[in-house]
Amino acid sequence: MLLRSFLLYGVGVLGVAAAFAQNPADRHPVYDVVSPYVEPKAGQKGALRIAPAVDKRLCVGDAYPFDAAEVAGVLKLNGWRGERCSGQVAVGVEGDITALQVSCSPLRMGAESIPATVRTIRYTKAGKVITADVIGNESRCEHGKGVLRGVWYEVNIPHDAVPGVYRGTITAVGAGAQAVQLPIELEVEAAQLPPASDWKIHLDLWQHPQAVARWHDVEPWSPEHFAIMRPLMQRLAQAGQKCITCTLLDEAWNGQTFDWFPSMVRWVRGKDGVMRYDYTVLDAWIHFMHDEIGIREQISCYSMLPWHLKVKIYDEATGQEEYLQATPGKPEFAAVWGPFLQDFHRHMQEKGWAEKTCIAIDERPDRMVREAMRLVAEYAPSFRIASAVDKPSALTRDVYNISPVLTHAGSALGPLLRERKAAGKKTTFYVCLHPATPNTFTTSVPAEAEWLGFFAAANQLDGFLRWAYNSWNCNPLECTDFVHWPTGDCFLVYPGNRSSVRFERLRDGIEEFEKINILRARAGESAQAAEIVQQMDKRLSAIFTVERSRQPHHTQDVAEARGIVRDAWLALETQRATQP
């Protein structure tokens, strides 16, 4: 997005000592920073320290302030039933140890118990720093003096959990060092968050199947390819994803990723001169995402307006591929797209998907979008238009799913947003390489990702779009840079179905989005309930503004907003209990 140019480059190897572990599903080593291990002198012992680091971006070389209060601290979490609660913990080293092992106990409250998990966070290079971001499945790792180890703690609260305060521990131990423990307190509220399949947020993180095939060295669209993608796409669905990313032609963005986006439709001109369209790959992908993964709200098809304005076809008469120019406003545009839209519309109607299909457009001028909308209305009337734009324009009222960049997506939409909601249209916002903050880069403050969900809720928007869920570079487990994009801009998760600190915090913001909308739905219970919700909205809208987004208060904003949401829920519960 935002008109990038394409320039492939080689990703350099980390200029530090690295250890790697091989995942059976990987075809590349997984790099992780450690300090050179030095055999301790006779009688010398290592020591560990452990403390909460929920809002820290841990980087190699940073000095973590393990003061007495932090080391003696408690990781405190609070959540609704059905919510995922998680947090980062830092383990520090004095002396030399190796083979760090972390574990955790179940959380207990009397006879009640809730399981938890703990995993080490691996380092990756991010621009000029080396940062802890990769959340894998390992609870053991090599370690060395001078490197802080991030640990990810996670609790998925059961929907039937008994409310109350649960307690447990995280334990870290290393060779030659005494084990250390961090107490955990989880307060489970009586409120309930529905399953992710029922979340209302319109989340649109673009998927990139080709990157998965390349990384794992499997044939695209083979059974092996789908098997490897399954857990990765399930992770996306469990975050509230609503859109399936499809391609109608080759590389709509003119090459901005390490792996290009090939067409899921094969365009063939027969020897008789008549065009045919093969939807085999497209159908397999949609069936997989729609029926198996459960992402069923929108099928986003890119694009009638590719940046190169060309369509690659195969000519049976010559046995060669060629490109058809399709410039909006010229007769060739209708000549290329009219027959395709008519056939594609018929096909999607037969599959039962026509009402979910959007012709998706990425930052194209209004004059081009109007031409696309005109042809869609004529040849594929069941289809709708989805468009990411720099800022709202004269077409904003008409497009079904519009997504301006964050800097133009605040309360400035005003009455137009209310009009769009009344018409059943979707209005979201996006970030990409812009703005610098808040964002989901590998170097972003962790709370920035969560801030985005609060921003959507506070401004009455329907959700959030980001251009890349998994457009991996050459080796994202080694380095998250790609050409001149900000580091981590191209992906939120890692190969081998590994999550990240920033993806998990983004998911936290999505859960808060859902909570806010659940509380808003209670405004009709009474006049007092309406006042409580109104005050909640007023306080949130004062914090989550475009102007404040540019200020470095995202961690503070998120903490305050969580308190506002909790206060509103408690007030609504008290008001309900005191009603006659």
Tokens 């995922």 correspond to 84
Q: Which two tokens stand for residue 146?
A: 């001078």
Quick check: 301 and 351 in contact, CB under 8 A? no
Query: Side chain identity at 221, as an amino acid letter?
Result: W
Residue 494, H or E segment: none
Helix %, strand %, coil % of the chain (to 5) = 30, 30, 40
pLDDT of residue 40: 43
Q: Smallest Cα–Cα separation from 446: which of 203, 90, 19?
A: 90
E strand spans, 115-158: 117-126, 129-135, 140-141, 149-156
Tokens 């070389």 correspond to 61
CA–CA separation, 553 vs 139, rounded Å?
A: 33
pTM of the model: 0.93
**How many CA atoms does the CB half-sphere of 128 hold within 13 Å?**
1
Tens of pLDDT along the chain (580 residues)?
Answer: 433 333 332 222 232 233 333 343 455 545 565 433 334 444 546 688 899 999 999 988 776 666 666 667 899 999 999 999 999 999 987 766 777 899 999 999 999 999 999 999 999 999 999 999 999 888 888 765 666 889 999 999 999 999 999 999 999 998 778 899 999 999 999 999 999 999 999 999 999 999 999 999 999 999 999 999 999 999 999 999 999 999 999 999 988 899 999 999 999 999 999 999 999 999 999 999 999 999 999 999 999 999 999 999 999 999 999 999 999 999 999 999 999 999 999 999 999 999 999 999 998 999 999 999 999 999 999 999 999 998 888 888 899 999 999 999 876 677 889 999 999 999 999 999 999 999 999 999 999 999 999 999 999 999 999 999 999 999 999 999 999 899 999 999 999 999 999 999 999 999 999 999 999 999 999 999 999 999 999 999 999 999 999 999 999 999 999 999 999 999 999 999 988 7
Q: Exposure of 577 by Cβ count < 10 A (0-12 exposed, 13-18 middle, 19+ buried)? A: exposed
Number of Cβ within 10 Å of residue 538's Cβ equals: 11
CA–CA separation, 238 vs 45, rounded Å?
A: 44
E strand spans, 270-395: 275-278, 298-302, 310-315, 320-325, 357-362, 384-389
CA–CA separation, 233 vs 239, rounded Å?
A: 10
pLDDT of residue 392: 85
Output the 3-class SS for 224-252: HHHHHHHHHHHHHHCCCECEEEEECCCCC
Task: Determine the longest span between alpha carbons in the chain, in angstroms.
Answer: 86
CA–CA separation, 486 vs 337, rounded Å?
A: 35
Three-state DSSP state, 498: strand
Q: Rounded to the nearest 5 degrees, what angle is found at the Cα of 425, between the Cα atoms of 423 and 430?
A: 150
Strand partners, 188: 79, 164
Strand partners, 120: 151
Q: What is the CATH number of domain 34-40+47-192?
A: 2.60.40.10
**How many CA atoms does the CB half-sphere of 227 hold within 13 Å?**
8
CA–CA separation, 295 vs 285, rounded Å?
A: 11
Number of Cβ within 10 Å of residue 39's Cβ equals: 8
Q: Which two tokens stand for residue 486?
A: 């900000």
Q: Which residue ranges make up each domain of the chain?
A: 1-31+194-202+211-220+390-580, 34-40+47-192, 242-389
Three-state DSSP state, 358: strand
E strand spans, 144-273: 149-156, 164-173, 180-192, 202-205, 243-247, 266-269
CA–CA separation, 240 vs 507, rounded Å?
A: 8
Q: Which residues of 384-396 are buried (b: 16+ CB within 10 A; e: fewer)?
A: bbbbbbeebbebb
pLDDT of residue 415: 85
CA–CA separation, 280 vs 333, rounded Å?
A: 25
Q: Rounded to the nearest 5 degrees, what angle is found at the Cα of 40, between the Cα atoms of 37 and 43?
A: 165
Q: Smallest Cα–Cα separation from 295: which of 215, 353, 360, 219?
A: 353
